[in-house]
Amino acid sequence: MLSISSKCRYGILAVLALGENHGGGLMQIKDIATAKNVPRQYLEQIFNRLVNAGIVNSVRGKKGGYRLAHSPEKITIFDLVEVLEGGVQLVGINEPQDAVSELFGRAQVSLKKTFEITLADLIVRQQALLENVMFHI
């Protein structure tokens, strides 16, 4: 089954939370885990990846936490997918030039385009969705 892992979904949700809080100080993993309903220890692993990839900064010790390493305009969801999913590679680099590889290549390009939205854009979209929910109450 071609699907996106929970790891990736969890990671994007967590980074989205950091993005919504950008400039507002540190966020702690237990709060994010609770808010987004993600197993805390699993989220720790995910944050490790993000820290190692330089997307997120960590501060250790009491009153520690995480924050974005760059502004939301400079982070794309594709960056996150690469780190969390280990890349997107529908077509191998050494494949013969046949119609099937060509098709897979097109699929890969369209997927990449979809994910090349910035975190800033995603935050805006998320707020729009929230307002929509408010409107319907």
Q: Are 32 and 51 in contact (CB under 8 A)?
A: no
Nearer to DNA, 54 or 86 (CB): 86
Nearer to DNA, 93 or 133 (CB): 93
Asked whether position 127 contacts DNA by CB under 7 A, the answer is no
Nearer to its own copies, 57 or 108 (CB): 108
Site for DNA in 11-70 (CB under 7 A): 26, 28-30, 39, 41-42, 44-45, 47-48, 51, 58-66
For residue 90, the partner it binds in its own copies, DNA, none, with Cβ less than 5 to 8 A by kind, is its own copies
Classify burial at 133, counting beta carbons within 10 Å of its beta carbon; exposed 0-12, middle 13-18, buried 19 or more.
exposed
Report residue 53: phi and psi, to 5°.
-80, -5
Q: Give, in order, the Cα–Cα distances in Å from 6 to each of 30, 96, 109, 130.
A: 18, 33, 23, 23
Asked whether position 93 contacts DNA by CB under 7 A, the answer is no
